[in-house]
Structure 1
Amino acid sequence: MSPDLDARGLKCPLPVIRLARLARELPSGTTLLVLADDPAAESDIPAWARMRGHSVTLERDGEHTAYTVVLG
């Protein structure tokens, strides 16, 4: 599956800002795949998701982290 947001190479706070901008346009229940390689995204994206009532899971593969965000 290709990412809905490829934030690799972007530094904090851009990955979470771009995710928030994208999510704003989408209905509840939408699943987004986000790829990021900035270490700060590992705390920023889950924190943003919790504050907005979304769920998030993540998988690391060594080069980047894949975040699956389900909009609540």
Structure 2
Amino acid sequence: MEGIKITKEVDARGSFCPGPLMEMIRLIRSAQVGDVVAVISADEGTKKDLPAWIKKAKHELIAEEPVEGGGTRFICRKLH
């Protein structure tokens, strides 16, 4: 993750699917091409749904990393 700067991040740990996915979609829509956005989620369904949506939408999943206090940070670059 060194050298990657997250432009916008949403902590959606209090939300269940499809909430975190909707937050990622909102972030991607508001971002510029090349921006890196992240969503933090503790919802188990998000671990499958969010990477699948990023791939389907043809953006780049940079990383999935554990977050202190629980949850996973999904980091995505907007490609178009």
Interval of TM-score (by shorter of Structure 1 and Structure 2): 0.7 to 0.9
Count of residue correspondences:
71
TM-score, L = length of structure 2: 0.78
User: Partner of 2:20: helix, strand, or coil?
Assistant: helix
Q: Give me the CA root mean square deviation.
A: 1.7
Within 5 Å, give how 1:10-49 maps onto structure 2: 10-49=15-54
Percent identical residues? 28
* SS class of match (2:47): helix
Where does structure 2 lack aligned partners over 5 or more consecutive residues?
Answer: 1-5
Q: Which runs of 5+ in 1 are unaligned?
A: none
Task: Give me the whole-angstrom Cα distance separating, in 1, the residues matched to 2:24 and 2:31.
Answer: 11
For 1:38 and 1:10, locate their aligned partners in 2 and report how far apart those are by CA, in whole Å: 7
Q: Deviations over 1:6-64 (max 9, x none)?
A: 11110011100121012112111110122110011111110110011111120124711
Q: Larger radius of gyration, structure 1 or 2?
A: 2
- 1:21 & 1:34 partners in 2: Cα distance? 11
Which position in structure 1 is the counterpart of 2:66? 60
**Is 1:69 the equivalent of 2:60?**
no
